[in-house]
Amino acid sequence: MPQDFVPGLLSRATEILEAQFGSLPPFQSDQDAAAIAQVLEGVARRLGDNYPYFHPLYAGQMLKPPHPVARAAYALAMNINPNNHARDGGRASSEMEIEAVRQIAAMFGWDEFLGHLTSSGTLANLEALWVAGQLAPGKRIVASEQAHYTHRRISAVLKLEFGEVAADNAGRMSLDALEAELARGDVGTVVATLGTTAAGAVDALDQILALRERYGFRVHVDGAYGGYFRLIPEALDEPARRAYAAIEQADSIVIDPHKHGLQPYGCGCVLFRDPAVGRFYKHDSPYTYFTSSQLHLGEISLECSRAGASAVALWATQQLLPLAPGGAFARDLARSRAAALELNRRLRTDPRERFQAPAVGVPELDIVVWKLAAETPEQASRLAHQIFVTCATNDLHLALVQLPQSWFALDGRATGLAGGGMVTCLRSVLMKPEHEAWLDRIWERFAAACEAVMGE
């Protein structure tokens, strides 16, 4: 593990926090320190049964270690354990949440909005689609077949009909297929994904918004994974750059600070462009909202109790690393993007042609997917599994993903919509900035695994 200086950082901050409550009479806790130490030793041993998510050689799923300042601020807040539902449960942390969310909204170009943190991206998307259903009752929700599966499940929970729109061979929502759905006249909301889970594809938000002018529907942006890439337009290819430039025209946005935002789980965020949607949250609580005339976050959230420590950690991180183009946070994001482009280049230029990257385009964000060259999809899938396992034995951790075969046209051209059979592919999420410096070592271990499995 990297050198852990969080305990040292916490010591002085904890003294300052305790001094602010120094006027209270002391009391003794009857906790058994020796018993706690014994339990914690057992916890540490159990936690060793994990992949090394914190290390650059973990390049598999969407797992990014929290920043040390986020860890320290979260731990400091746990001395209070605030609840960001009502002000009397989290006075300071409620203010910190409001400030931190305002900074996220400003990143998307919004200064008037309604928004708050949630315990996950799933809850954030649920709130966005719940509001969408209130505004267009009985109308359908549609999203790309490459959108996160949570949208279908959320729609079912909300008893809203859901429609799946075909994706093209770059993993983006097909605009022709979307327009065919819109022509039916019953679509209330279109979910545009900026950073699909499988491949990091970016739906053409600018063109979806143009269709909104003709058909009239609500646009919800699921930027749970890719939202922060708004900060580095110069590092993106033109289609993705246009999509991110248009994001401020969306009706609602979801982003997950516990992904690229360097936060502990769980920390999601939902934003609405029209603050008036707060009317849908209005409710009475006979015992909660009487300690302050200021807004209680529980008044604009479907969740009740929420960890105020999440808001404290996010606020602290954004104080250290402001969400500004050209800043340190943005530069680290660009390093992840550069690592993905370099891995993609090496795969495409392999002299033995052992790998097939998607025929259309390069990675749009920092996720790379590739297929193993083989005579049949079944053989390619078996090779992917074998290389995945062999890499792991050498401490390199990748991921597996099933993708349409049509994404990997042998002649370099992709035709038609993604469909037909699926093939198991390898996938790497290069979301740590350290991945750029570690790419030679990642490639060395990957190449050794391929040699062991595929031979000459």
**CATH assignment of the domain containing 341:** 3.90.1150.10
109 and 131, same domain (yes or no) = yes
Q: Work out whether strand 422-429 and strand 140-144 pair parallel, antiparallel, or are unpaired.
A: unpaired
Determine whether 347 is exposed, middle or buried from the number of CB atoms within 10 Å of its CB (0-12, 13-18, 19+). Answer: buried
Model pLDDT, residue 2? 66
Helix axes 435-454, 328-348, angle to 10 degrees: 20
Helix (H) or strand (E) holding 400: strand 399-404
Stretch 383-401: mean pLDDT, rounded? 98
Burial annotation 133-145 (CB, 10 A radius, 16+ → b, else e)? beebeebbbbbbb
Q: Are residues 223 and 251 in the same domain?
A: yes
Same domain, 221 and 279: yes
90 vs 83: CA distance, rounded Å: 5
Residues in Cβ contact with 133 at an 8 Å cutoff, skipping those fewer than 6 apart = 139, 141, 158, 160, 188, 189
Residue that is last in its domain, among 275, 304, 320: 320
The helix (run of H) or strand (run of E) holding residue 385 is helix 377-393
Instruction: Tell whether the model's pLDDT for residue 259 goes beyond 70.
Output: yes
12 lies in some domain:
no
What is the CATH number for 245? Answer: 3.40.640.10
- Clarify whether residues 274 and 351 are in a common domain: no
Give the count of domains, the chain.
Answer: 2
CB-CB contact of 218 with 250 (8 Å): no
Residue 4 lies in a domain: no
Q: What is the pLDDT of residue 295?
A: 65
Mean pLDDT is lowest, of 177-186, 247-256, 291-300, 424-433, for 291-300
Same domain (yes/no): 353, 445: yes
Are residue 311 and residue 332 in the same domain, yes or no? no
- The answer to whether position 377 is within a domain reads yes
Q: Which of 320, 341, 367 is the last residue of a domain?
A: 320
The pair of structure tokens assigned to 285 is 């609580």
Is residue 121 domain-shared with residue 213, that is, in the same domain? yes
Q: Number of C-alpha atoms within 13 angstroms, CB side, residue 14? A: 12
Lowest mean pLDDT across 7-11, 111-115, 325-329 = 7-11
Domain that holds residue 237: 91-320
Evaluate if residue 413 carries a pLDDT over 60: no
Q: Give the pLDDT score at 248.
A: 97
- State how beta strands 218-223 and 252-255 pair: parallel
Q: Per the domain annotation, does 58 fall within a domain?
A: no
**185 vs 20, 309, 374, 446, CA distance in Å?**
60, 44, 44, 50
Query: How many Cβ atoms from other residues are within 10 Å of residue 451's Cβ?
Result: 13
Residue with tokens 């410096």: 437
**Which residues, 6 or more positions from 43, have their beta carbon under 8 angstroms from its beta carbon?**
none
Residues 300 and 415 in one domain: no
30 lies in a domain?
A: no
Q: What is the pLDDT of residue 3?
A: 60
Residue where a domain stops, chosen among 320, 336, 371: 320
Residues 309 and 339 in one domain: no
Separation of CA 295 from chain center? 28
Q: Say which residue the tokens 């973990």 belong to.
A: 58
H or E element: which one contains 367?
strand 367-372
Q: Is residue 37 part of a domain?
A: no
Q: Is residue 408 part of a domain?
A: yes
Mean of the pLDDT values across residues 340-359? 94
Q: In this predicted model, what pLDDT tens digit does every residue of 188-224 receive, in sequence order? A: 999 999 999 999 999 999 999 999 999 999 999 999 9
Residues 277 and 313 in one domain: yes
Spatial neighbors of 354 by CB under 8 A, at least 6 apart, are: 372, 373, 450, 454
Within a domain: residue 2?
Answer: no
d(CA 317, CA 311): 10
Query: Both 288 and 250 in a single domain?
Result: yes
Instruction: Give yes or no for residue 171 having a pLDDT over 70.
Output: yes
3 backbone dihedrals φ, ψ, rounded to 5°:
-55, 130
DSSP element (H, E) containing 219: strand 218-223
Per residue in 71-127, pLDDT (tens digit) is 999 999 999 999 888 877 888 999 999 999 999 999 999 999 999 999 999 999 999
Size (the chain), residues:
456
CA distance 159 to 82: 34
Specify the pLDDT at position 186: 97
| Mean confidence (pLDDT) of the chain | 92
Q: Are 194 and 223 in contact (CB under 8 A)?
A: yes
Question: Residues 434, 362: one domain?
Answer: yes
Mean pLDDT over 261-290 rounds to 82
pTM: 0.93
pLDDT at 261: 98
